[in-house]
Amino acid sequence: MGIKERQERERLAIRQAILSAARELFVSEGYRNVSMRKVAERIEYSPAAIYSYFASKDDIFFALAAEGFALLADRVTTTIDGMADPFARVRAALWAFYEFSKAHPEYFELMFTDRSVPSLNQDFHRLEFFHELVTRLEGDILACVERGQFSAGVEPAAAMHVLWACMLGAASINLARRLAPGENPDALAHDVLEAVLGGFSTTLHTTFVASDCIFTNSPDESPAEAVPVLSQPRRDEG
């Protein structure tokens, strides 16, 4: 191995060490309570050296978010590839999302439930691949509508949000351990998903209006209040 290759490998190893330390600290102490100095201390590195890898704490978060969404997209894609039925793909994709929350709880918390992290729309270009996956699933929902499996009143983007919200709730309840002893969180998540999918087959008309971008926050929302979400309702113009 040449000197350049060795240096690049060492640099990648240090970068990953920074990300791993930051992820642990963000989850255990809260994003707003973690400084670049604290991350540096965790890996026994100087703060100045940390800045040669990441310009700010927000930059570390965006890198972690990109990693998390890549893991999620890979899990969902691997699960649904080879499935011919769009209804089966939608169901399997949402269950893969729930399974992701159990397999990667630290990423899940940063990506979906931590209110102190920066708004993801500040660095959305890193997550375009995930937008493409969501668009693909919206296409499957449309196919379900066209086949009569879902009501004609179901709008695909709105339905995608409804499904995401229901599984987000089930996953959050599980991770927060809000169920009584003996209650099965997987069974609850299963029933929630089946109930919502079943509801789409009725005369339901969705009323939520999705925005064009899957990571959008209200224009009057401050960065400290921003929550990473698939989107907020589009505001009427005029």
DSSP string, 100-156: HHHH-HHHHIIIII-TTSPPGGGGGGGGHHHHHHHHHHHHHHHHHHHTTSS-TT--H
Reported confidence tier of residue 118, pLDDT bands at 50, 70, 90:
confident
What's the predicted TM-score (pTM) here? 0.82
Secondary structure of the chain: what % helix, strand, coil (to 5)?
A: 65, 0, 35
26 in the same domain as 13: yes
Length of the chain: 238
Q: Is 148 a member of any domain?
A: yes
Chain mean pLDDT for the chain: 87
Does 232 have pLDDT greater than 60?
no
**For 6-23, what is the mean pLDDT?**
92
Same domain, 20 and 68: no
Look at residue 237 in the predicted model and tell me its pLDDT: 34
Contact 126, 233 (CB under 8 A): no
Is 234 inside any structural domain?
no
Same domain assignment for residues 78 and 157? yes
Q: pLDDT band for 212, please (50, 70, 90 cuts).
A: low
Residue 131 is part of a domain; what is its CATH number? Answer: 1.10.357.10
Residue 164 located in a structural domain = yes
Considering the domain architecture, whether residues 100 and 186 belong to the same structural domain is answered as yes
7 is in which domain, residue-wise?
A: 1-54
Q: What is the mean pLDDT of residues 86-105?
A: 97
